[in-house]
Amino acid sequence: MHYKINTYGCQMNVHESERIAHSLEKLGYTETKEDNFDIIVFNTCCIRDTAEQKILGHIGKLKKIKRANPKLIIAIVGCMSSQKGKAEELRSKYPYIDIILGANNLEDLENAILNLQNNHKKTFLTPDDDKPQVIEDVEYTRTSMPNAWVNIMYGCNNFCTYCIVPYVRGRERSRKPESIIAECTELINQGYKEITLLGQNVNSYGNDFEDKRIDFAGLLERLAQIPGDHRIRFMTSHPKDLNEKVIDIIAKYDTLCKNIHLPIQSGSNNILTAMNRHYTRDKYLEIVKKIREKMPLCGITTDIMVGFPGESERDFEDTLDIVKQVKFSGAFTYIYSPRKGTPASLMEQIPYEIKSQRIQKLIKTQNQITKELSKNYEGKIYRVLVEDAKDDGKLCGRTDCGRLVTFSGDKAFIGSFKNVLITKSQSASLFGEITEEK
Ligand code: 5AD
Ligand code: SF4
């Protein structure tokens, strides 16, 4: 019996698919990359309409396959199915779906499959069935050695006016620090070299503990002190919550990567207010200054959105201006997509052509910056974690500050740290060679 998981969306979803894989393997399924699957699970995303349309297109294509093989199990799980009314909509549009679960009831997958196999009973859970408690000791089938993801918290309390995440993932819940430390220690002992801590807003880690026994800086410090040759990253940070204490801890420990993902979303104060982001462009610039004072080489990456309702040409110019000032080492750029049930979807929308022009301009501006920054790497040596081999046999890995480097070497180096001299750069790509020098 074979399974296939189609994962859409963020790293949180990629990690949760490792949990789904474990559930399926417990039931006796093995993974297949081909079309010979007996169960297919869609781990879905709904952050933008494009994500949803892509998923719905794929589900639509399964109709014929299910007709030819009625025993095939089709399960739709994750954020898209957590939207209010979505389970009902999916059932009526695609009656051949067998299982629907939201992002907060993935633990029900095994039972849902057994119920189908033993009692021919389909399972459709709606957001009302959500069990948003924090489950510790979740088991995963990890496939990303030497990298591992560790969830430190679930959900989000911020309600940025464009964002659907708080509606589908619920309120912030932090995992117990002891469980996180134990999980990271075990991963390091197993040979994992890089751990990425995941949360929608990691800087508010621990805010939900009544006794306030630990905050994100405290957690980071405890994790940084775990002995071993490894490094730790985290995402995502919110500019309103990233404080100096966290910056100081990152600067203090070599095991903490000098790399911060700090979504700015917009460079206009009017738009930031309308987005409910709780910071101004000056506050953002101040944080960047503090980071760079303490860690001049820290990579700062960001998310930026264009075409939020009411965004004027002037507002957009403010975004371009801050992008030029900060010089992000990388930026994920998005066109605002109205999400049903969020306040911004009810505001007056901007025509698509304007959004499209703005994103092209933004991408061009950032690409130019990335290209210039890449040049600075040439001739310097960086410690790189060798992560993978490409189809052409070349190795690739990341620097501490998060830049991807391609170089020649033995595949046996995967999972170890190597010093790499950067010999060439091409826009966002860096090329180099392994060196003994430091
Ligand atoms: N439309 C476009 N982009 C969005 N994001 C979140 N919601 C939307 C939306 N409705 C972007 C934000 C966030 C990233 C994960 O996705 O930039 O930081
Ligand atoms: Fe969405 Fe804002 Fe929460 Fe990020 S902080 S998940 S953008 S609501």
Mutate to test the pocket of ligand 2, among 201, 203, 261, 336 (most ligand atoms within 8 A of CB): 201
pLDDT at 437: 80
Mean pLDDT of 245-267: 98
Distance between CA atoms of 16 and 360, rounded to whole angstroms?
Answer: 33
Gap from CA of 165 to ligand 2 centroid (Å)? 6
Mutate to test the pocket of ligand 2, among 163, 203, 277 (most ligand atoms within 8 A of CB): 163
Task: Evaluate if residue 316 carries a pLDDT over 90.
Answer: yes
Q: By alpha-carbon position, which residue is closest to atom 1 of ligand 2?
A: 163
Q: What is the pLDDT of residues 54-104, one digit of tens each?
A: 999 999 999 999 999 999 999 999 999 999 999 999 999 999 999 999 999
pLDDT at 240: 97
Report the atom number in ligand 1 closest to the C-alpha of 304: 17
Task: Find out whether the beta carbon of 399 lies less than 6 Å from any atom of ligand 1.
Answer: no
Distance between CA atoms of 55 and 84, rounded to whole angstroms?
Answer: 17
Report the atom number in ligand 1 closest to the C-alpha of 164: 7
Name beta bridge partners: 150.
Answer: 197
pLDDT at 254: 96
**Residue 265 pLDDT grade (very low, low, confident, very high; cuts 50, 70, 90):** very high
3-state secondary structure 250-262: HHHCCCECCEEEC
Gap from CA of 339 to ligand 1 centroid (Å)? 10
pLDDT at 128: 73
Q: What is the pLDDT of residues 219-249, one digit of tens each?
A: 999 999 999 999 999 999 999 999 999 999 9
pLDDT at 368: 96
Nearest ligand to residue 308 Cα: 1
Task: Find out whether the beta carbon of 265 lies less than 6 Å from any atom of ligand 1.
Answer: yes
Nearest ligand to residue 319 Cα: 1
Gap from CA of 276 to ligand 1 centroid (Å)? 13
Distance between CA atoms of 1 and 147, rounded to whole angstroms?
Answer: 28
Task: Find out whether the beta carbon of 303 lies less than 6 Å from any atom of ligand 1.
Answer: yes
List of E strands, 13-82: 30-31, 39-44, 73-78
Dihedral pair phi/psi, residue 267, rounded to 5°: -100, 5
Task: Find out whether the beta carbon of 301 lies less than 6 Å from any atom of ligand 2.
Answer: no
Mutate to test the pocket of ligand 1, among 12, 13, 14, 48 (most ligand atoms within 8 A of CB): 48
Distance between CA atoms of 245 and 222, rounded to whole angstroms?
Answer: 14
- H or E stretch at 368: helix 352-377
In the chain, pLDDT over 90 holds for what percent of residues? 94
3-state secondary structure 280-308: CHHHHHHHHHHHHHHCCCCEEEEEEEECC
Q: What is the pLDDT of residues 333-386, one digit of tens each?
A: 999 999 999 999 999 999 999 999 999 999 999 999 999 999 999 999 999 999
Task: Find out whether the beta carbon of 79 lies less than 6 Å from any atom of ligand 1.
Answer: no
Kindly report the number of other CB atoms within 10 A of residue 373's CB atom: 17
Q: What is the pLDDT of residues 6-37, one digit of tens each?
A: 999 999 999 999 999 999 999 999 999 999 99
Task: Find out whether the beta carbon of 202 lies less than 6 Å from any atom of ligand 2.
Answer: no
Q: What is the mean pLDDT of the chain?
A: 96
Distance between CA atoms of 23 and 39, rounded to whole angstroms?
Answer: 12
**Residue 148 pLDDT grade (very low, low, confident, very high; cuts 50, 70, 90):** very high
Task: Evaluate if residue 129 carries a pLDDT over 80.
Answer: no
Q: By alpha-carbon position, which residue is closest to atom 4 of ligand 2?
A: 200
Task: Evaluate if residue 135 carries a pLDDT over 90.
Answer: no
Q: What is the pLDDT of residues 381-410, one digit of tens each?
A: 999 999 999 988 899 999 999 999 999 999
Task: Evaluate if residue 127 carries a pLDDT over 90.
Answer: no
Q: Tokens representing 50?
A: 């494009």
pLDDT at 391: 86
Task: Find out whether the beta carbon of 263 lies less than 6 Å from any atom of ligand 1.
Answer: yes
Report the atom number in ligand 2 closest to the C-alpha of 201: 5
**Residue 203 pLDDT grade (very low, low, confident, very high; cuts 50, 70, 90):** very high
pLDDT at 267: 98
